[in-house]
């Protein structure tokens, strides 16, 4: 056995268990979490604090960020058994516990049949993607045709714009979590193509899944993308996104920043509109305590 800190902890836990101390998570459970962590690619992360001097909406950050271990998330219940494998560090254990909880939720969501029409028309359910331990969670309205095919939120043109927004924040898609209120593509009337907005009733049926995702991830900030997402999250009508964007709201105790939907920026490519969204995202970075470089502060300022 090596004298790695994890091995020392593991052997201490082993001795405690041998002496009759009942551990909340068994050694096997810890090993299971370690395996889940490596399978889910949730290696230990370092918070990104310095923005790289990269091009606006095209930056390639070098570091990943994750939230600090969240005390509300508990390890899965104890089971019997012994192992001589090493135990993960605390933050990895919390992150992998979140990954395991998201995995447990994924099954029922993918098998959901609550909206018979959407079940008929969908190719697949779009669960959500990203870092289970993310500090920032982006919430959109519903999958479109591209997302329905790929099974991942925001992979179409609007998704590419969202990726640019995330990159400008000096983050990567893998650092944040991305999900929609509605997990199935809203079906289109026969003979019609394109995407439609989800109905409030559809969002209400699906919202508990998003709530559970948020409860597991415990992001520090939620970014609500567009009026429909704001309406769905807050349960209001006519959000008036023009007025609401840029002003902090709260969703289940979590600070929420409403901003324009990335699709809006595809149709309104002016620096003025991009700057508005960028100011909302800078407010998010400030809330997280991240450094914003002078170059970042200047993005989309009209000369
Ligand atoms: N628009 C959304 O709101 N969500 C997606 O996943 C794609 C486009």
Cβ–ligand 1 distance for 42 under 6 Å, the answer: no
Domain boundaries, the chain: 92-289
Our CA angle for 295, 66, 226, nearest 5°, is: 65
pLDDT digits 0-9 by tens, 230-283? 999 999 999 999 999 999 999 999 999 999 999 999 999 999 999 999 999 999
Our CA angle for 30, 32, 37, nearest 5°, is: 95
pLDDT tier, 111 (very low <50, low <70, confident <90, very high otherwise): very high
pLDDT value, residue 88: 56
CATH class, domain 92-289, is alpha beta
Cβ–ligand 1 distance for 158 under 6 Å, the answer: yes
- In degrees and rounded to multiples of 5, residue 169 shows phi and psi of -80, 5
| Global confidence as pTM | 0.75
Task: Give the Cβ contact number of residue 151 at 10 Å.
Answer: 15
pLDDT value, residue 78: 32
| pLDDT at 72 exceeding the cut of 70 | no
Cβ–ligand 1 distance for 278 under 6 Å, the answer: no
Calculate how far, in angstroms, residue 227's C-alpha sits from the geometric centre of ligand 1: 12
Ligand 1, closest atom to CA 229? 3
pLDDT > 70 fraction of the chain, expressed in percent and rounded: 70
pLDDT digits 0-9 by tens, 6-28? 444 434 444 444 444 444 443 33
Ligand 1, closest atom to CA 228? 3
Between 22 and 137, name the one with better pLDDT: 137
pLDDT tier, 193 (very low <50, low <70, confident <90, very high otherwise): confident
């Amino acid at each position: 056995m090596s004298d790695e800190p994890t091995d020392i902890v593991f052997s201490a836990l082993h001795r405690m268990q041998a002496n009759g101390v009942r551990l909340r998570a068994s050694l096997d459970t810890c090993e299971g979490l370690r395996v889940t962590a490596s399978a889910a690619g949730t290696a230990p992360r370092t918070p990104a604090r310095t923005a790289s001097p990269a091009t606006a909406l095209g930056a390639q950050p070098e570091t990943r960020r994750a939230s600090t271990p969240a005390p509300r998330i508990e390890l899965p219940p104890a089971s019997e058994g012994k192992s001589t494998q090493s135990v993960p560090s605390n933050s990895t254990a919390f992150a992998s516990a979140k990954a395991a909880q998201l995995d447990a939720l994924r099954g029922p969501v993918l098998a959901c049949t609550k909206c018979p029409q959407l079940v008929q028309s969908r190719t697949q359910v779009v669960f959500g993607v990203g870092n289970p331990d993310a500090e920032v969670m982006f919430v959109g309205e519903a999958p479109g045709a591209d997302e329905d095919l790929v099974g991942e939120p925001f992979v179409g043109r609007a998704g590419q714009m969202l990726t640019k927004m995330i990159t400008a924040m000096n983050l990567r898609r893998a650092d944040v979590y991305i999900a929609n209120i509605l997990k199935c593509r809203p079906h289109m009337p026969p003979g019609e193509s394109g995407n439609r907005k989800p109905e409030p009733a559809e969002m209400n049926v699906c919202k508990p899944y998003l709530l559970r995702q948020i409860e597991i991830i415990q992001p520090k900030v939620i970014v609500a993308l567009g009026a429909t997402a704001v309406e769905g999250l807050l349960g209001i009508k006519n959000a008036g996104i023009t007025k609401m964007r840029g002003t902090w709201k709260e969703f289940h105790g979590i600070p929420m920043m409403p901003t324009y939907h990335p699709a809006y920026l595809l149709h309104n490519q002016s620096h003025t509109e991009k700057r508005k969204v960028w100011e909302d995202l800078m407010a998010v970075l400030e809330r997280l305590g991240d450094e914003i470089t002078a170059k970042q502060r200047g993005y989309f300022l009209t000369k």
